Amino acid sequence: MISILVLTFNEEVNLPNCLNSLNWCDDIVVLDSFSADRTGAIAKEHGARVVQRKFDNYAAQRNCGLNEIEYTNPWLLMVDADELVTPELAQEIKQVVQAGDPGTYLYRMRRKDFFLGKWIKRSSGYPTWFGRLMKVGHVRVERSINEEYVTDGEIGYLQGHLHHYPFNKGCGAWLEKHNRYSTMEAELLAGEGLSSPSLAELRSKDPALRRRAIKAFVYRLPGRPLLMFVALYFFRGGILDGRAGFTFCTLRAIYEYMINLKVKEIRRREKGLVV
């Protein structure tokens, strides 16, 4: 009853473990952005179908997966190549789909981020809820990065976790990826401007709406990179995650600083000023 979509680009390091964690599924599609490594071959070796599409942004890629690919099952689970589906989460997914709660078309779940061999629960800002399990035809994806999932039905919540290994390809790969992310985030901020924080969303029981409102508020504050480090390392308890926590909090602050720099660059170019 469940198909799975995995987005990839040069994921030969991560993909084998990811696909091994999905061996309970009979319909896996790898949507690949024309990888230059063995990603496609590995996918086929594991029995997955491979569809290729040139990458433009994450929302467009996921919407392509939702709207332009045919699946054998009515429910779709979206997984990234550096994530693993635990047996407990797989069992829970099967149970909620079999129960068939009418009108619920999207399920959110959390994930555990691992770095230097440990779950960095505090420094990663856990918990964050991600919409990943959806009924095909009833969900669309908005925002080109840090996507938002919109459904015409109800939203449910799963207790199981995805396991996320963002540093499997090394810190250099993480920095390279977040260099791209920061460019996309800066382009959005420079183009759309800062949205006004919503008090209603801050008070909402929906964790995704609360997170969006908090982000809108934080992006208006001066010194955001330093504030991000202080919030994660001291207030959220990243200091208790040891060396992994300090390193990850520092990287998060660098990422926020990269966004700031790129927003300023974009705005200077728009004014015809030298960067």
Q: For the chain, which residues make up each domain, given as ranges?
A: 2-164, 171-270
More confident residue, 190 or 107: 107
pLDDT at 120 over 90: yes
pLDDT at 236 over 70: yes
Res 193: pLDDT: 63
Res 195: pLDDT: 61
Res 17: pLDDT: 98
CATH number of 2-164: 3.90.550.10
Which residue(s) pair with 25 in the sheet?
none
Question: CA of 29: how far to CAs of 22, 76, 112, 120, in Å?
Answer: 11, 10, 24, 30
Inter-axis angle of helices 242-270 and 171-192, nearest 10 = 40
Instruction: Report the alpha-carbon distance of residue 180 to residue 178 in Å, rounded.
Output: 5
pLDDT at 194 over 70: no
pLDDT at 271 over 80: yes
DSSP H helices, 54-197, are 58-67, 87-99, 171-192
Instruction: Report the alpha-carbon distance of residue 243 to residue 246 in Å, rounded.
Output: 5
DSSP state of 240: G
Most confident of 2-6, 142-146, 265-269: 2-6
Helix (H) or strand (E) holding 220: none
Question: CA of 161: how far to CAs of 93, 104, 164, 205, 209, in Å?
Answer: 11, 20, 9, 20, 20
